[in-house]
A and B are shown apart, each in its own frame.
Chain A
Amino acid sequence: MFLKVFAVGGAICTLAQLLINYTKMTAGRILVYFLIAGLVLQTFGLYQYLVDFAGAGATVPISGFGYLLAKGAMEGAKKGLFDAITGGITAAGMGITAAIVFGYLFALLFKSKSKMN
């Protein structure tokens, strides 16, 4: 399993590096494009295959976040209009909350270090 995780996760990151090398894209842009890619693929149910195959190799990259958002929204849509709208952010709620809470906490604790190279 770990081999599959390593291969798929590594391949997604290599794809990002290719984009960096050829298009001079910045980190923020890469993250957005990969997120949208995951979201769109899952809309057609495709990213699920990758998750079933490689587990964390597909869910840890940011495209997995997009997958989670799409999956949540689609599952919500089965329940009704309200869940169709809130399903995505509910599914991604833990990630966003963790980022905000840890982000703020660590900002209280740490400061930017000087860089030498």
Chain B
Amino acid sequence: MKNDKDFINENYLNYVKSVSPKTNEPRSLIRAFFVGGLICCIGQGIRYLFEYAAGLNGDELAAYVSAVLIFLGAFLTGLGVYDRIGKFAGGGSIVPITGFANSVVSPAIEFKTEGYIYGVAAKMFVIAGPIIVFGVFGSVVVGLLHFGIINIF
């Protein structure tokens, strides 16, 4: 009988690495840059629109802008378009808040076949759940640290 460690074949792994096709580096970076930049510009456009048309400002403005972007990301996911954008742009469409919406909506739609409670509602956060968990956890740590610093000094 062999042990678990025995079969790892470094020579083979190096060989596989040398023959495996590589991602087209410059092309993927340029695509990510342009699509990412474009999504942010759309965000900025919505920002100006709300600022001048609705007279919003500060945190309220930022919150509405992100809600609209989340709506757009969710809608494009529902239409089956966002995964096309994702295949083209990679990081360019994952990192903007629309990508967060995509990661919430795509499993929600996918698991519809398992029902609306254990399917849609339960699976909604299989990918985006960690973002909420780390975000909320992190913010509580930051909040408590600051509270401590303010009250001690």
Contacts and interface: CB of A to CB of B under 8 A. Distances in A.
Contacts, number: 288
Given A10-B40, A32-B134, A107 B105 contact: yes
Given A17-B92, A56-B43, A62-B96, A95 B67 contact: yes
Contacts of B78: 106, 109-110
Q: How large is the interface on A (under 10, 10 to 19, 20 to 34, 35 or more residues)?
A: 35 or more
Most buried by B among A19, A87, A110: A110
B111 to A, nearest CB: 8
Given A56-B43, A84-B143, A65 B108 contact: no
Interface string B105-119: 110111010001000
Majority secondary structure of chain B interface residues (helix, strand, loop or mixed) = helix
Interface residues of B, number: 79
Majority secondary structure of chain A interface residues (helix, strand, loop or mixed) = helix
A16 B90 CA distance: 9
Contacts of A83: 143
A60 B39 contact: yes
B62 A30 contact: no
Interface of A: 1-2, 5-21, 27-28, 30-32, 34-36, 39-40, 42-43, 54-57, 59-66, 68-70, 72-74, 76-78, 80-81, 83-85, 87-89, 91-100, 102-113, 115
7 contacts: A19-B91, A42-B142, A62-B131, A73-B142, A77-B143, A88-B135, A110-B80
Interface of B: 23, 25, 28-29, 31-41, 43-44, 46-47, 59, 62-67, 69-71, 74-75, 77-80, 83, 89-101, 103-106, 108-110, 112, 116, 120-121, 124, 127-128, 130-132, 134-136, 138-140, 142-147, 150
Q: Which 8 A-B pairs have the closest CB atoms?
A: A88-B139, A13-B36, A9-B40, A10-B37, A73-B143, A16-B91, A17-B91, A113-B80
